[in-house]
């Protein structure tokens, strides 16, 4: 594959890179709202790196595809875009993917000894079983890799991820779930994404303030010692661990769990990530044969913020 500009187009940031000879280079992150259109942001990236002659383009995005061929962001209503718009600007779109399929493919390609790998739990991982990638970022993504019986990679399977119905296992979880539904005026049951992701953490924090009768800080990260923040943080870890457990058991994903997401990165950066609390929830006691496999399942975190671009490149080269 010749040189291709690859991009992960998000509602907050767009990440760009150049896929060249099987590797990623010249990565930058630009604010999506700073540009009128996606072609304008591509041109800005090209101008920064003197890449004006490259017209091949591939993208992944968290935006939602509509029947008319446009893609829309839930948090950036005036920035809808389309493949035809990009092509009409003189580019050639080679690939358009959802962001988490690209992230999943990228995470699978990273070496175990890479500096961007953080081991949460070592384990054997069962050859031939799917590997799951979870993404606690702005939302809660999930995808998994399918292998043949010999462990040869076959494909990335898309999934609805955090839209799985939340399954409370304690009275505190039930209380918080009920309060979240009421505060957000939900007309559907609470889902995992309503609790275990960055865009939902603010409401979770407010609910914990209500339960503890505490006044909230200006921003939840402004006072990480705040009792309600500590409560919300604990519930986040427990919910993410439970989601990982259910995901693994549901698809027999004992090949391993990989996590990657902006909110998770923010917790790690602030030294707020608590692997033991996550694992306590992941290691839910159950039927002995399931528990045995859960205990053997390896878990790691990929901290590379451009991993979705690597995934796009691997998809292009496939």
Reduce the DSSP state of residue 285 to 3 states and report it. Answer: coil
Least confident residue range of 5-19, 46-60, 70-84, 278-292 = 70-84
Q: 143 and 87 share a domain? A: no
Nearest to 202 by CA among 186, 192, 216: 216
Tokens matching residue 186: 């939900």
Stretch (H or E) spanning 316: helix 307-317
Residue 163 has pLDDT above 80, yes or no: yes
* For residue 84, pLDDT beyond 80: yes
Distance CA 208, CA 203 (A): 9
Total domains present in the chain: 2
CATH of the domain at 144: 3.40.367.20
Q: What is the pLDDT of residues 276-316, one digit of tens each?
A: 999 999 998 889 999 999 999 999 999 998 999 999 999 99
- Does residue 258 carry a pLDDT above 90? yes
Rounded to the nearest 10 degrees, how much is the dihedral formed by the CA atoms of 60, 138, 222, 190?
Answer: 180
Asked if residue 112 has pLDDT above 80, the reply is no
What's the whole-model pTM score?
A: 0.88
- The answer to the question of residue 108 being in a domain is no
Domain shared by 201 and 276, yes or no: yes
Residues 209-257 have pLDDT tens digits of 999 999 999 899 999 999 999 999 999 999 999 999 999 999 999 999 9
130 and 163 co-located in one domain? yes
The answer to the question of residue 311 being in a domain is yes
Give 292's contacts (C-beta < 8 A, 6+ positions apart).
none
* Claim to verify: residue 291 and residue 313 sit in the same structural domain: no
Average pLDDT over residues 22-44: 93
Domain enclosing residue 62, as ranges: 4-103+307-317
- Do 154 and 297 reside in the same domain of the chain? yes
What percentage of the chain exceeds 90 in pLDDT?
A: 72
């Amino acid at each position: 594959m010749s040189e291709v500009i690859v991009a992960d187009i998000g509602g907050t940031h767009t990440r760009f890179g150049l896929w060249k000879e099987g590797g990623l280079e010249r990565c930058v992150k630009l604010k999506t709202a700073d540009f009128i259109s996606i072609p304008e942001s591509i041109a800005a990236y090209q101008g920064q790196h003197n890449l004006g002659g490259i017209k091949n383009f591939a993208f992944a995005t968290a935006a939602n595809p509509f029947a008319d061929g446009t893609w829309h962001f839930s948090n950036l209503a005036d920035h809808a875009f389309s493949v035809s718009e990009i092509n009409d600007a003189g580019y050639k779109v080679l690939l358009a993917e959802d962001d988490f399929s690209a992230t999943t493919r990228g995470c699978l390609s990273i070496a175990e000894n890479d500096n961007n790998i953080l081991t949460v739990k070592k384990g054997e991982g069962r050859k031939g079983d799917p590997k799951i990638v979870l993404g606690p970022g702005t939302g809660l993504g999930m995808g998994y890799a399918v292998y043949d019986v010999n462990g040869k990679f076959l494909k990335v399977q898309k999934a609805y991820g955090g839209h799985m119905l939340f399954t409370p296992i304690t009275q505190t979880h039930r209380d918080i779930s009920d309060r979240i539904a009421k505060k957000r005026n939900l007309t559907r049951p609470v889902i995992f994404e309503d609790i275990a992701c960055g865009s939902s953490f603010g409401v979770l924090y407010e609910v914990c303030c209500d339960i503890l009768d505490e006044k909230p800080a200006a921003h939840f990260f402004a006072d990480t010692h705040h009792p309600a923040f500590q409560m919300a943080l604990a519930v986040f870890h427990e919910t993410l661990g439970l989601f990982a457990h259910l995901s693994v058991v549901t698809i027999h994903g004992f090949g391993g769990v990989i996590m990657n997401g902006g909110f998770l990165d923010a917790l790690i950066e602030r030294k707020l990530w608590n692997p033991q609390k996550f694992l306590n929830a992941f290691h839910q006691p159950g039927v002995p044969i399931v528990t045995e496999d859960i205990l053997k399942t390896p878990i790691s975190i990929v901290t590379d913020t451009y991993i979705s671009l690597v995934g796009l490149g691997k998809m292009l080269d496939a």
